[in-house]
C-alpha cells in the first residue's frame, strides 16, 4: 500500500497515455508557429486558439458519446449520420412546417434517442456485432433523412435553409463578444462525463463491463441496461453536435459532418480509450481531439489543401491504432499475461 | 434426401426465386423496361461487382473484411488512367500490370496492419480507405481523368455473339467458378474455412491463420484493381469517387452474407454470394426503373443488410447450440469481432 501512494501524481501523469499527446501538442504549436510566416500568417494568437476550441465543440460532443460507449467495449458508427439527421429535422420543422424552435429541437433529439435505442436493440437483443449493426443503421437513418428532406414537389433538397434568430443564437452566442458559449458547454460536458466515469458507481461498472464482461456479470452488474444507456447517450450526443452545427451554419444539410464521421473515434483512441474497452477517460479523449483539431487548423494556416488533411487524418487513425496496440502489448507483458 | 429437394431448400434456390419474383413484378408494372440497354447496363454493373465479390467473400470466409476495397479500386484505375494519359505511346497492358501491382501493395499494407500487427481488420481498413480516397482526391483535385485509348475502352464493349452479355461478365463468372472450386475442392480452400471458423483449432492443426488471411488481403487488393480497370473501361475514365459513391464494397458484403458466407467467418460458398449480388443489383435496377424515389432505394439497401446479418447471426447461434457450445461470446455488448486473436 505504501508503495502505491509513493508514486507521485507527477509520475503518474508522465506515465499516462495522454502525456505523449501533450508533447505532440507542444511540438505542433512550435512547428506551426515557425512555419506560419511562410504563408504570411500567424499561428500563435488568441484568435487561433479560440477558433480551434470552436472547431472542437461539435466533434467534442461526438467524442464524449463515442468515448463512453467505447470504454464499455461497444462502438457506434451511425453517430455522424444521427448528427446530420438532427440538423435536417430541425431545419425542416422550423423552415417548412413552421414549428417553434424548441419543439423542433425536442423532436430532433427524440429521434436521435430512438436511433440509439434501435442500435441497442440490434446489438443486445439480436446479438449483432455493434460495428455492422450501427453501420447498417447509418444507412437506414440516411434513407429517412432523404425522405424528410423531400419537399412537396417530390424533389430532394441537399440542404434546407431556415430563418430563426433564437435557433441561430444557440451555436453562435459569444460571451463578452469573443468567447463562444458552445466552448463552455463542451468543457462542462467533458467534466461532467469525466466525473461520471471516474467517480460514480455507474462509471466504475462501465469500466468493468469493458475490461472483463464475465467478471461484471458475476459481480451482478446489469450490463444490458448499461449498454442501452450508453448507446442512447451516444446518439443523443450526436444529436447535440448536430444541433450546434445546424445552428451555426443556419441550415440543415444531408452531407453535414460527413468528414467528422471518425473524428470522435480517432480522438477517443488517441486519448487512450482502447478498443475492446476497459481503459481511458474523458481527459484523454479531449486532448486527443485537441491534437487533431490543432493539426487541422495548423495545416490550414500554413496553407495546405484540405485533401492533404484528409489523407493525414486517415494516417492518424492508423497511427493511433498501432500505438494503442503497442501499449496494450506492453501492459500485458508487464502483468505477465 | 434427393438432390433436387436439397436444392429447393437451399439459400441459393431462395435467392433465385426472389430474383425471378422481382423480375416478374417489373414485367407487370413496367414492361417497357425489358430492353437491351437496361440488360447491358445491369450486366456491366454485375461484371465489376462480381470480380470485387470474389475478393471480399474469400476474405469474409477467413474472418476478415476490407472497407478500403472501393478506395483501392479507385486508386488503381486512376494510376492506370494517369499513366495512359502521360505515355500514350507505350502499350497499355503494361499499365494494367502497374494497377495490379498497386493492388498487391495496398493489399499487403492491409495485411500488415490486420495480420502483422493484429489490429481489427474492420477498423484499420477504414483508416486505409480514408488514406487512399484522400490521396486520390488530392492528386486529381476531385476531377476525373479521361481515358483516350480506343482499344482499352472497347474491352468492356465486347459482347458475346450479339447478346447483351459483355465478355467482362463472362470473365467475372469464370472467376467466381474458379474461386468457388478452390474453396470447395482444394486443401487451401478448406484451410481458409477452418481458420475463419476456429482460428485456435486451425493453429493447433498446424495451419497459420494469419498467413492465410494475409494472402486473402492481397488477393482482395488485386481483384479490387481488376474491378477498377473494368469500371474504367466501361466509363472510359478514371474517377476518384466512382466506386465509393456506389458503395460497391458494402453491396458485396451484403451479397456475401445473403448468399450464406458467414460474417463470423468459416462458412459459405461463392456461388450463393454471386446469386446474392445478382439479386441486389436486379432489385436496385428495378427500383430505379419503376421510378421509386432515392430514399426508398437507400432504405431497402440498409434494411437488406440488417436482415441478412440477423439471419446469419441466428444461423450461427443455432449451429453453435446444436454443437452444445456457449454463444455468449458471439456478439452482445462486446465487440466480438472476427479476426481478434
Give the gap in angstroms from C-alpha A183 to the nearest C-alpha of chain B. 28
Closest CA to B218 of B132, B118, B120, B102: B102
Measure the CA–CA gap between A44 and A36, rounded to whole angstroms: 9
Higher confidence at residue A276 or residue B127?
A: B127
Residue A80's Cβ-side half-sphere holds a number of Cα atoms within 13 Å equal to: 15
| pLDDT value, residue B246 | 67
CA distance A297 to A295: 6
What is the distance between the alpha carbons of residues A135 and B265, in angstroms, rounded to a whole number? 19
Q: What is the pLDDT of residues B196-238, one digit of tens each?
A: 878 888 888 888 888 999 999 999 999 999 999 999 999 888 8
Per-residue pLDDT, B174: 94
Report yes or no on A270 lying in a domain.
yes
Give which of A59, A87, A99, A52 is closest to A250, Cα–Cα: A87
> In total, how many domains does chain A have?
1
CB contact under 8 A, B332 and A126: no
Contact (Cβ atoms closer than 8 angstroms) between residue B191 and residue B203: no
B positions 98-157 inside 8 Å of A (CB): 113, 117-120, 122-124, 126-135, 137-138, 141
E-assigned strand segments in chain B:
145-146, 237-238
Q: Does residue A2 lie in a domain region?
A: no
Which residue range(s) make up the domain with A182?
19-30+42-334
pLDDT in tens, A269-297: 777 787 666 777 888 888 888 888 888 88
- Split at pLDDT 50, 70, 90, the class of A325 is confident
- Chain A residues with CB inside 8 Å of B113's CB? 318, 321-322
State residue B339's pLDDT score: 34
CB A206 within 8 A of CB A213: no
Share of chain B above pLDDT 70, in %: 92
Model pLDDT for residues A211-243, shown as the tens digit of each residue: 888 888 888 888 889 999 999 999 999 999 999
Residue B337 touches chain A, beta carbons under 8 Å: yes
What is the distance between the alpha carbons of residues A74 and A123, in angstroms, rounded to a whole number? 9
A37 within domain boundaries: no
Is A71 inside a domain boundary?
yes
Domain of residue A316, CATH code: 1.10.3470
Q: Tell whether A147 lies on the interface with B, counting CB pairs under 8 A.
A: yes
Nearest chain A CA: its distance from B167 CA (Å): 33
Structure ipTM:
0.71
* Grid cell for residue B100: 495490379
Q: Give CA–CA dist A86/A62, Å, rounded.
A: 13
Q: Which residue has the higher pLDDT, B145 or A255?
A: B145
Indicate whether A7 belongs to any domain. no
- Taking the C-alpha atoms of residue B199 and residue B63, their distance in angstroms, rounded to an integer, is 9
B303 touches chain A (CB under 8 A): yes
Amino acid at each position: 500500500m505504501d508503495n502505491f501512494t509513493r508514486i507521485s501524481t507527477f509520475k503518474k501523469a508522465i506515465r499516462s497515455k495522454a502525456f505523449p499527446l501533450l508533447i505532440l501538442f507542444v511540438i505542433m504549436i512550435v512547428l506551426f508557429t515557425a512555419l506560419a510566416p511562410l504563408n504570411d500568417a500567424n499561428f500563435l494568437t488568441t484568435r487561433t486558439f479560440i477558433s480551434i476550441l470552436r472547431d472542437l465543440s461539435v466533434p467534442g460532443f461526438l467524442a464524449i458519446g463515442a468515448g463512453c460507449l467505447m470504454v464499455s467495449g461497444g462502438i457506434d458508427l451511425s453517430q455522424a449520420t444521427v448528427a446530420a439527421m438532427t440538423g435536417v429535422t430541425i431545419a425542416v420543422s422550423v423552415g417548412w412546417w413552421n414549428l417553434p424552435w424548441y419543439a423542433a429541437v425536442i423532436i430532433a433529439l427524440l429521434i436521435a434517442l430512438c436511433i440509439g435505442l434501435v442500435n441497442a436493440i440490434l446489438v443486445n437483443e439480436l446479438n449483432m456485432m455493434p460495428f455492422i449493426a450501427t453501420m447498417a443503421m447509418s444507412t437506414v437513418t440516411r434513407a429517412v433523412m432523404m425522405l424528410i428532406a423531400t419537399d412537396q414537389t417530390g424533389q430532394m433538397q441537399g440542404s434546407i435553409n431556415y430563418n430563426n434568430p433564437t435557433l441561430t443564437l444557440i451555436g453562435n452566442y459569444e460571451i463578452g463578444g469573443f468567447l463562444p458559449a458552445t466552448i463552455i458547454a463542451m468543457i462542462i460536458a467533458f467534466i461532467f462525463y469525466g466525473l461520471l466515469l471516474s467517480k460514480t458507481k455507474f462509471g466504475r461498472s462501465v469500466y468493468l463491463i469493458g475490461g472483463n464482461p464475465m467478471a461484471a456479470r458475476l459481480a451482478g452488474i446489469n450490463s444490458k441496461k448499461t449498454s442501452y444507456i450508453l448507446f442512447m447517450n451516444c446518439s443523443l450526443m450526436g444529436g447535440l453536435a448536430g444541433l450546434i452545427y445546424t445552428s451555426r451554419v443556419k441550415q440543415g444539410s444531408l452531407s453535414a459532418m460527413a468528414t467528422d464521421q471518425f473524428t470522435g473515434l480517432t480522438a477517443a483512441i488517441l486519448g487512450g480509450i482502447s478498443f475492446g474497452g476497459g481503459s481511458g477517460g474523458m481527459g484523454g479523449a479531449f486532448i486527443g481531439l485537441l491534437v487533431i483539431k490543432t493539426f487541422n487548423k495548423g495545416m490550414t494556416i500554413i496553407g495546405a489543401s484540405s485533401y492533404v488533411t484528409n489523407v493525414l487524418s486517415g494516417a492518424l487513425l492508423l497511427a493511433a491504432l498501432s500505438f494503442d496496440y503497442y501499449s496494450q502489448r506492453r501492459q500485458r507483458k508487464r502483468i505477465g499475461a | 434426401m434427393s438432390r433436387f429437394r436439397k436444392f429447393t431448400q437451399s439459400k441459393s434456390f431462395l435467392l433465385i426465386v426472389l430474383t425471378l419474383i422481382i423480375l416478374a413484378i417489373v414485367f407487370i408494372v413496367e414492361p417497357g423496361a425489358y430492353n437491351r440497354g437496361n440488360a447491358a447496363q445491369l450486366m456491366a454493373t454485375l461484371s465489376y461487382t462480381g470480380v470485387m465479390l470474389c475478393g471480399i467473400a474469400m476474405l469474409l470466409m477467413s474472418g476478415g473484411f476490407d472497407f478500403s476495397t472501393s478506395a483501392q479500386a479507385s486508386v488503381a484505375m486512376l494510376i492506370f488512367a494517369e499513366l495512359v494519359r502521360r505515355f500514350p505511346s507505350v502499350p497499355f497492358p503494361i499499365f494494367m500490370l502497374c494497377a495490379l501491382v498497386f493492388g498487391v501493395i495496398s493489399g499487403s499494407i492491409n495485411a500488415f496492419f490486420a495480420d502483422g500487427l493484429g489490429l481489427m481488420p474492420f477498423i484499420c481498413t477504414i483508416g486505409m480507405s480514408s488514406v487512399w480516397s484522400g490521396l486520390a482526391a488530392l492528386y486529381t483535385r476531385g476531377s476525373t481523368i479521361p481515358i483516350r485509348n480506343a482499344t482499352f475502352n472497347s474491352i468492356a464493349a465486347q459482347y458475346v455473339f450479339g447478346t447483351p452479355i459483355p465478355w467482362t461478365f463472362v470473365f467475372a463468372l469464370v472467376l467466381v467458378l474458379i474461386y468457388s472450386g478452390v474453396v470447395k475442392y482444394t486443401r487451401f480452400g478448406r484451410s481458409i474455412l477452418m481458420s475463419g471458423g476456429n482460428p485456435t483449432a486451425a493453429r493447433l492443426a498446424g495451419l497459420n491463420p494469419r498467413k492465410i488471411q494475409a494472402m486473402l488481403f492481397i488477393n482482395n487488393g488485386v481483384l479490387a484493381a481488376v474491378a477498377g480497370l473494368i469500371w474504367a473501361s466501361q466509363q472510359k475514365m478514371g474517377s476518384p469517387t466512382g466506386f465509393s459513391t456506389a458503395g460497391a464494397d458494402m453491396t458485396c458484403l451484403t451479397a456475401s452474407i445473403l448468399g450464406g458466407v458467414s460474417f463470423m467467418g468459416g462458412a459459405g460458398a461463392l456461388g450463393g454470394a454471386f446469386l446474392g449480388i445478382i439479386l441486389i443489383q436486379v432489385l436496385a435496377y428495378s427500383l430505379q426503373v419503376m421510378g421509386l424515389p432515392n430514399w426508398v432505394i437507400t432504405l431497402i439497401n440498409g434494411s437488406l443488410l440488417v436482415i441478412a446479418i440477423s439471419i446469419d447471426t441466428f444461423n450461427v447461434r443455432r449451429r453453435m447450440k446444436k454443437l452444445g457450445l456457449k454463444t455468449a461470446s458471439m456478439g452482445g455488448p462486446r465487440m466480438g469481432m472476427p479476426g481478434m486473436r
